[in-house]
Amino acid sequence: MKQSFPNKMIAKLVKALDPRFDKYREKPMSESEKVREKDRIKHEEQLEAAVRMERENYTPQSEKELIQLIRRTPREVLSVKNRNLISGAMSFGRRRAMLITMPREDIVFLQDSDMLGPLNLDKLYKTGDKIFPVLNKAKKVCGIIRPEKIDVLHISKNQPVSKLMSHDVVFARDDYTLEQLLAVFLRNHTDYVFIIDKDEKLLGYAELDTLIAVLFNREIKDDFEDDASSISVSRREL
């Protein structure tokens, strides 16, 4: 069968244009080119293997490199919670006690000679502060008033602060590291430590809750309050 007119025209057009596409066609490689291509592929495979091995056996040489490695770690491997824990623990030994110190100017002080009754105790409650340091005549801390520890029902009239205060006063210096400060808390089984300088000047106080929050790089929250009951603890749903 003879080709139709359009088909003849297409055939002639293809024949005329075909040589122009020669430069785009894949040409068979010479033996030397095959050898070079084989060497190139082998080199790339060796390089990939070396990079993979380096990543698997990589050991950070500095704290900065370790932090960068932690940041590159996928979230499904290392959660934000655990990242914060690691970074908080790593910097714990370098930070100083003043980082978590409540400054003296922000503290409400009582005098050991002050009188404390239901009315004044209510005023202390309303400040929202958990403790109130007590000063003696020499302006040194000699005790602590903890409103939550005072039974309002048993205070029918004013009583001297000196009779209601606790004497668990502990001191640490402002240049202590947070690790040293934690040791003070643990040694003395207390939750508040007063911070002083080398001249014995009172600068403020530090709270154990704040120290732990810095250590874990987050606030520790747990609404459970019935720790004194073995039944409640044993039946608690986690």
* Same-domain check for residues 168 and 191: yes
Residue 74 shares a structural domain with residue 105: no
Q: Taking the CA atoms of the chain, what radius of gyration do you get in angstroms?
A: 38
Q: Are 101 and 208 in contact (CB under 8 A)?
A: no
To the question of pTM greater than 0.85 for the whole model, the response is: no
87 and 107 together in one domain: no
CATH number where 107 lies: 3.10.580.10
Over the chain, what is the mean pLDDT? 82
Considering the domain architecture, whether residues 148 and 161 belong to the same structural domain is answered as yes
Asked whether residue 206 is assigned to any structural domain, the reply reads yes
* pLDDT score for 96: 92
Q: Is residue 137 part of a domain?
A: yes
Distant-in-sequence, close-in-space partners of 69: CB < 8 Å, separation ≥ 6 = 58, 60
Domain count, the chain: 2
Task: Tell me if 192 sits within 8 A of 131, measured CB to CB.
Answer: yes
How far is the CA of 182 from the CAs of 35, 37, 227, in angstroms? 68, 64, 23
Domain assignment of residue 10, yes or no: no
Phi, psi for 60 (deg, rounded to 5): -60, 140
What burial letters (b/e) apply to 26-64, b meaning 16+ CB within 10 Å? eeeeeeeeeeeeeeeeeeeeeeeeeeeeeeeeeeeeeee
pLDDT score of 46 more than 60: yes
**Residue 21 clears pLDDT 60, i.e. is over it:** no
- The answer to the question of residue 234 being in a domain is no
Q: How far apart are CA 73 and CA 60, in angstroms?
A: 13
Query: ∠ CA 205-208-214 to the nearest 5 degrees?
Result: 100
pLDDT of residue 197: 95
| Domain region containing 73 | 61-92
83 and 113 belong to one structural domain: no
d(CA 135, CA 109): 7
How many other CB atoms sit within 10 Å of the CB of residue 228?
A: 7
Which of the four pLDDT bands, split at 50, 70 and 90, describes residue 170?
very high
Pairing of strands 110-111, 132-135: parallel
- Please state which of the ranges 87-91, 182-186, 199-203 shows the lowest mean pLDDT: 87-91
Whether 140 is covered by a domain: the verdict is yes
Is there a single domain that holds both residue 77 and residue 123?
Answer: no
